[in-house]
Structure 1
Amino acid sequence: MYNRGIRGATTVEHNEREAIYAATEELVAEMIERNGIRPETVSNVWITVTHDLDAAFPAVAVRRQAGWDFVPLMCALEIPVEGSLPRCIRLMIQVNTEKSQREIKHVYQRGATVLRPDLAGRK
Structure 2
Amino acid sequence: MIRGVRGATTVEYDKELEIIEETTSLLTKMIEANQIQADDVASVFISVTEDLTSTFPAKALRNFTGWNLVPVMCMQEIPVPNSLEKCIRIMIHVNVDRELPQKDIVHIYSRNAKKLRPDLSNMS
State TM-score, norm by structure 2. 0.95
Name the aligned partner's letter for residue 107 of structure 2.
H
Aligned alpha-carbon RMSD (Å)? 1.0
Runs of 4+, deviation exceeding 3 Å = none
Q: How does the TM-score come out when normalised to structure 1?
A: 0.96
Could you tell me which residue of structure 1 aligns to residue 17 of structure 2? 18
Gaps of at least 5 residues in structure 2 are none
Percent identity over paired residues: 48
* One-letter code aligned to 1:62: L
Please list the CA deviations of residues 25-78 of structure 1 after superposition, one character each: whole Å capped at 9, or x if unmatched: 000000001000011100000000000000110000112135411000000000
| C-alpha separation in 1, matches of 2:66 and 2:20 | 14
2:51 maps to: 52
In structure 2, C-alpha distance between the alignment counterparts of 1:96 and 1:121, rounded to whole Å: 25
Structure-1 separation of matches of 2:27 and 2:51: 21
Partner of 1:101: 102
Total equivalences in the alignment: 122
What residue ranges of structure 1 are gaps of 5+ in the alignment? Answer: none
CA deviation profile, 1:63-114 (whole Å, cap 9, x unmatched): 2135411000000000000000000000000001132111111100011000
